[in-house]
Amino acid sequence: MYLKKMEIVGFKSFADRTKIEFDKGITAVVGPNGSGKSNIVESLRWVLGEQSAKSLRGGKMPDVIFAGTEKRRALNYAEVIAHFDNTDDYLVGHDEDDEVVITRRLYRNGDSEFLINGKKCRLRDIHDLFTDTGLGRDSLSIISQGRIESVFNSKPEERRAIFEEAAGVLKYKNRRIETESKLTATQDNLDRLEDIIFELNGQLVPLQAQRDVALRFRELEANRSELSLSVLVGQLLFEKEKYDETRNQLTEVLSVLTGLTERKKVYDDELSELRKRRIEVEQEQEQCRNEQMTLSGLKADLTRKIELFDVQKDSSEKTALERENRLKQLIDRLTAMEEELSVLTEKQKLLLEEKTKLELTLEALSVELESLSEAPETVIERLRDEFVTLVGQEAEQSNIIVRNKAEIENLTRKQSEQDESTKENLAKFEKVSAELDQSEKIYEQLKNEISQLLEQYENQSIIKKQYEEQERYAQNEMYDRLQELNQQKARLTSLQNIRDSHSNLFAGVRSVMQNQDKIGGIIGVVADVLSFDSKYTTAIDIALGGGSQNIITEDENAAKRAIAFLREKRLGRATFLPLTTIKSREFNGLSRISGQKGFIDLAINLVHFEPRLQKALSSLLGTTVIVDTAENATAIARSMSYTVRIVTLDGTQINPGGSYAGGAGKRNTTTFSNVEIDALNGQILTLETQLKQAEKTVQKAQKERLELEQQLATLKAQGEEKRFEEKTLLMTIEQLKSQKSTLSALTELSVSKNTSETLSTLTQQSQVADSMLTKISERKSEIEQQIDQLKSNSQAHKALQSEKTQASSETQLRLSEVTSELRFSKNDEKRLLTDLSALTEEKTQLQASLNPVKFDEKERKLFANQLQTTEQKLGELNVKMVSLKFEREDLSAQMEDLEQHNQDFIQQSQNLSTQKTRYEMQLEQSEQRLMTLQETLNTEHQMSFEEAQDTAVQLENLVSAEQELKQLERQIRALGPINLDAIAQFEEVNERFIFLSSQKDDLLEAKNLLLSTIDDMNDEVKIRFKSTFDAIRESFKMTFSQMFAGGQADLELTSDNLLEAGVEIKVQPPGKKLSSLNLMSGGEKALTALALIFAILRVRTVPFVVLDEVEAALDEANVKRFGDYMNHFDNSNQFIVVTHRRGTMAAAGSMYGITMADAGVSKVISVKLEN
């Protein structure tokens, strides 16, 4: 294999596509310094996969692309194509390709392309292609400038890479690195696996203990269940006997009570009539008393009016005199207030004048501060603009001086035209005056515009802060809504998962629901078929108790199938409510408590369900009353003699018989998951709406803030532009004033003045222009000093800014004081005007009231007649009141007699009612106990009473059986928390423990295999490296003595570790005894390095060798020796030498010349030298 051809375009100085063909043997590349010779070597290194821009003498990789010259534009890509002859199948993987073409492209945007035989590939593919071919990155096949010295200057460990490349062990090293990486990954997996196994081992011990407890629990629970069934049947039989006895006693009491009630009803009817008449009499009495009160009030009112009429008539004259005196006082007070108002008006005028002055001062300071607040770089830029303007004005004044000088020189010629010149100056004077007036008007307008812009900027800044605050508040609101929405969604997902998996149900209930399709006839769990207002959740939960997990079935057959399924699979127990057998329970005392305080409703009326489920749900909730508070519940229970079951909204429960249950604890919040899911869905919709609204608010606030920021930027730019226009206009005004003064002087010259006076005038005009030039020059110097000062030190700038800031603060403080005084003065003025208006109105009223009051005697007589009529009606009412009093006393006596006769009946009825209540309470309690026992029987054993009687064992002693049952329950409680899933969990964890232990063994085996592979590769590397090193060592001894014509050389390893040992070079040129390689000359080092290169080439043949001015340090004799030695190699070796030494050129078979016909662009010239 050898390098046949290279094509270069856009790489460094090769702007045009350049083709270079290489033959076997020696090819020399020559040319002057800077012509681009080394670029050919670097292009070859680049196309073979060089990744370091620094190695290619660049800062970054795009630097290799042709950057252009003065005459040639830059290119956008670089491309190098290398053609290799592969007829000897040297490159692995390309045995069938006689030629292998490697292409590399780089675009200026950083994109790269790599191709092998026109097919795209990766850079790594190119590296792999040349691995162990002798053309690797660390080989000596391509030696650039400075690489020769690096052979000596590098450390022995770094020098080892050259020998490894020659030995062809890089592929083994790369494979070892990959294997070590796999070994690390295997060890990591092994560590993780050991952690998991350790954790599982820690779980197995407690799980085994929990499994043993669960098995013990199953044994005790089976015994307890069997005994519990027999005890329940015995308790039910005992309670039924008590129930029948109590019901017979209640029937007898009710019969006696009915007879007493009928007799008592007769007396009650008579007493009711008497009470009715007495009420009518009392109503008449009340009506008479009301009329008396009305007439008494009318009498008092008429009497008071007559007395007031007489008093007013007597005091009329005295009141008129007092009003006249008050009117005089008002007139004096009004005069004093008008004088005080005049003083306030004058004071306000003075304060307004001071306020105006302070505002002007503050505005000027604000302008200065705004200028000072600019960054030094901005000020420098503005000063430079002003400097340019001054240069223009300086040129204009210089022109005036030159023009005046010309006029003085031609004064004799122009003397005859004196009259015309005077007219021209007058016209100029008028024009300049008009321009000056116009400029001054524009200046005032500019000042107003700047003031308006400043005010707009401040107002917009305030509004911007408000919008920023609104945006911040809206963002916080949006984030709050988003966080709350995520929480609610997470809660909803959790509840849906719990509902779908039935994980909130008892084990037996869960098993039935998970297999309901298989069992058939299952309608659902009670908690899942209900819906109600969320505020009743606690009350309904307590009212249902364990019944919330009862299962409703279509009929009793479905219930039996489910029970058989649970018993067969030993999956637990459940209570079933077949619609065909369940009986509803109704509450008969609703009318007695419906109107009482705190009563809400029966529990059955607060829930919603399908109508066909009425009986099943009524059996659970039909007799339970829901009340708002415990206090009201107690009152209702007392009124019902504690015969009804009551539950409050907070969960307090009052049972029949008077027992209470309540408190707080950890409650299962997922019992009614459907209810909470519906509520959560509503809340999520609301939150999503709120979130969208919050997002819109944020977007609106952001949009408004951005618009304001753009407006502020526009206002700032306009302000800066107006400031510049203002300063430019001021200079223009000064210039116009100077011109006007000059023209005014000229127009005052009379036609009859002599030449000397004209010369004097022109001289004066020139002096004015010269004065302007002096001012302009001084200003230019001042600007230059300011620029230098701003560049060197900004301390003075800061001090001046501080001084102006303090002055602005003091002015602002005084302005606030004046504004405050003016506000107080206006408030005083407003108060005086208000008082003045009130006093004026009072004055008008007093003047109008000075007229004498006239009294009407007819009105007094009318009042007297009405008083007499009222007193007559009062007398008639008094007579009627006495009559009604007697009638009421008679009725009361009759009622008292009837009540006395009825007292015995009441006492007897109360005694019987007490007995009735006691029997009813006993009956209700007995019924409740029967229901509780029946419910317990259904819940725990899923049996009816008849089925239980057939199954239960006949007990000889119910009390002993109950004690034995309690003992079993104590033993179960002593077991502590029971994890029935621990049995399955133990089996699952144990199975996983065994599986992972097996995996661990597999990983250990893989680890040992990888370690063995690494050892094998290390052995191969040692063998190859040692054999190659020994061969190169012997070859180096020979090539050194040949090239130096004598002397001795040797190679030594730094240690016995063949995998890491470095390589030391030991040389002794002829006639010298060196203690260190550093004592060798540059030529000796170069020749020694070349001897090492030739020694390696003799041991490991490489396709080609590229040498870039490696003989530069040799003298002519050694250069010739170098060239002759290259010719010792036959044509199987290819040398490409970049050189400018004659001896090397003479040894070459062909030669390429590199020139730069155009600056910065390399060209190639080919020359054959065989002949």
| Known binding-site residue numbers for ATP | 32-39
- Give the three-state DSSP class for 624: strand
Residues with Cβ within 8 Å of 5's Cβ and at least 6 positions away in sequence, in order, are: 19, 20, 21, 22, 82, 83
217-239 CB burial, b ≥16 within 10 A, e <16: beeebeebeebbbbbbbbbbeeb
Adjacent-strand bridge partners of 8: 18, 80
Residues with Cβ within 8 Å of 413's Cβ and at least 6 positions away in sequence, in order, are: none
What one-character DSSP code corresponds to residue 604? G
Residue 434: CB atoms within 10 Å: 11
Task: Please report the beta strands in 556-703, taking only residues with DSSP state E, as ranges in sequence order.
Answer: 576-578, 599-602, 624-627, 645-648, 653-654, 660-661
Q: In sequence order, what DSSP letters do the residues of 814-842 get, joined into one string? A: HHHHHHHHHHHHHHHHHHHHHHHHHHHHH
Contact 378, 786 (CB under 8 A): no
Long-range contacts of 196-202 (CB under 8 A, 24+ apart): 196/996, 197/993, 197/996, 197/997, 197/1000, 200/989, 200/992, 200/993, 200/996, 201/993
Query: What residue type is assigned to position 457 of the chain?
Result: Y
Contact 1104, 148 (CB under 8 A): no
d(CA 1064, CA 1084): 17
d(CA 1039, CA 718): 83
Question: What are the backbone dihedrals phi and psi of residue 123, each rounded to the nearest 5 degrees, phi first?
Answer: -60, -35
Question: How distant, in Å, are the alpha carbons of 2, 47, 76, 461 from that of 56?
Answer: 23, 12, 19, 56
Adjacent-strand bridge partners of 120: 115
d(CA 637, CA 657): 10
Question: What are the backbone dihedrals phi and psi of residue 824, each rounded to the nearest 5 degrees, phi first?
Answer: -60, -40
Residue 132: CB atoms within 10 Å: 21
d(CA 1163, CA 952): 115
Task: Please report the beta strands in 258-336, taking only residues with DSSP state E, as ranges in sequence order.
Answer: none
Pairing of strands 119-120, 1063-1068: unpaired
Query: CA angle, corner 99, sides to 95 and 100, nearest 5?
Result: 85
Contact 1062, 163 (CB under 8 A): no
Question: How distant, in Å, are the alpha carbons of 433, 733, 736, 740, 765 from that of 437?
Answer: 6, 9, 10, 11, 22
Q: Is the dihedral of CA 96, 101, 104, 105 positive or negative?
A: negative
CA atoms within 13 A on the CB side of 19: 4
Long-range contacts of 441-450 (CB under 8 A, 24+ apart): 442/729, 443/726, 443/729, 443/730, 443/733, 446/722, 446/725, 446/726, 446/729, 447/726, 449/722, 450/367, 450/719, 450/722, 450/723, 450/726
Contact 642, 654 (CB under 8 A): yes
Helix (H) or strand (E) segment spanning residue 1158: strand 1150-1158
Pairing of strands 551-553, 576-578: parallel
Residues with Cβ within 8 Å of 832's Cβ and at least 6 positions away in sequence, in order, are: 337, 340, 341, 344
Name the nearest CA neighbour of 1129 among 1086, 1170, 1099, 1088.
Answer: 1099
